[in-house]
Structure 1
């Protein structure tokens, strides 16, 4: 898995962090312990997959949610469900169309603390050429300079144009897809 974080000051301005961010607010993702996974259904049976390659720019401080920002870019061609036929279909023009739209993007607009250690990220999720606002509930545990994040949201694949033509019918491949993130980071 390849995961990287770009955190120089100029990168913060690119991702739109408006408030000054201290170096302690910048997080480096630990690639070996982080993942973006998904679960869908095919012919009524669940299948799991993951994106093996993604990059993340993370500037987050629980005491400065207004100044916090996260931007994740996911390499669509890195999708891996453990089934070579399904994996080749996922990146085809009928599904993600990785040739034309090789990257999915998750970019936060704001954060809300809903309880101690529990947050919601309001973000734009772009898949193919479609952007939809999503809310990602996540748990955050910070201990010294380490952070662990777990979050999960469910989207409808057809809202993003994933599954064109005959595949827009959800009787064979279900519409709901659950995305799970597990991020281990340090500052």
Structure 2
């Protein structure tokens, strides 16, 4: 047997053995538990704090702490599902001066990358699109995974006027504050 043939034969045995031995990390697909998950927000109106939530949203989550580069999250929020426990405010929020749901019925959060910042703590760099305006945002979040269950909680502060939310007289931030705090609490299973 020639030495070239022996080397080829040896390589054909070693390479598959290495492929079996090296663990393959792949991001897991997660399903959101809608009844246990929330996207809430808070702001100020005439100097008083108010809170609300978007009751309907869908999420595609592929995530693993061992494969952040292969992880991706896409969330689509139904703006018309807004609930601030004030019917007048809710009807204003979906109007043309605010979110204009007739033209832009959804908001989108699409991750670009993830970074671990501590044990169980991460940052998601994402594009947030509201009223057809896209801005890059950074969402810090805590993640707890136990078996096939995961809970992610995070907070993001944005300026509504950066996205054109509040047209005309409502672009003045003296009546409705510019900063809006968005809080997520997502429970999911894989």
TM range (shorter): 0.7 to 0.9
Confirm or deny that 1:36 pairs with 2:39. Answer: yes
Name the CA distance, whole Å, in 2 between partners of 1:168 and 1:21.
Answer: 47
Correspondence for 1:73: 76
Q: What is the distance in 2 between the residues matched to 1:101 and 1:149?
A: 27
CA offset at residue 129 of structure 1?
A: 1.2
Instruction: Name the residue aligned to 1:54.
Output: 57
Residue aligning to 1:16 = none
Query: Structure 1 unaligned runs (5+)?
Result: 1-19
Match of 1:110 among 109, 113, 135: 113
Mapped to 2, the partners of 1:94 and 1:184 lie a distance apart of: 33
* CA distance, structure 1, for counterparts of residue 127 and residue 48 of structure 2: 29
2:159 aligned residue (153, 156, 181): 156
Matched, 1:126 2:129: yes
- How many residues are aligned here? 167
Q: TM-score, normalised by structure 2?
A: 0.86
Larger Rg: 2
Match of 2:148 in 1: 145
Cα distance in 2 for partners of 1:70, 1:81 equals 26
- 1:43 Cα shift? 0.3
Secondary structure at the counterpart of residue 28 of structure 1: strand
Over 3 Å off, 4+ runs = none
After superposition, the Cα gap between the structure-2 partners of 1:177 and 1:104, relative to the gap in structure 1 and judged at 3 Å, is same
Q: TM-score, normalised by structure 1?
A: 0.88
Q: What's the counterpart of residue 97 of structure 2?
A: 94
Q: CA deviation at 1:133?
A: 0.1
How big is the alpha-carbon RMSD for the aligned residues of Structure 1 and Structure 2?
1.2
Aligned to 1:66, the other structure's residue is in SS state coil
Deviations 1:46-69 (A, max 9, x none): 100000000000000000000000
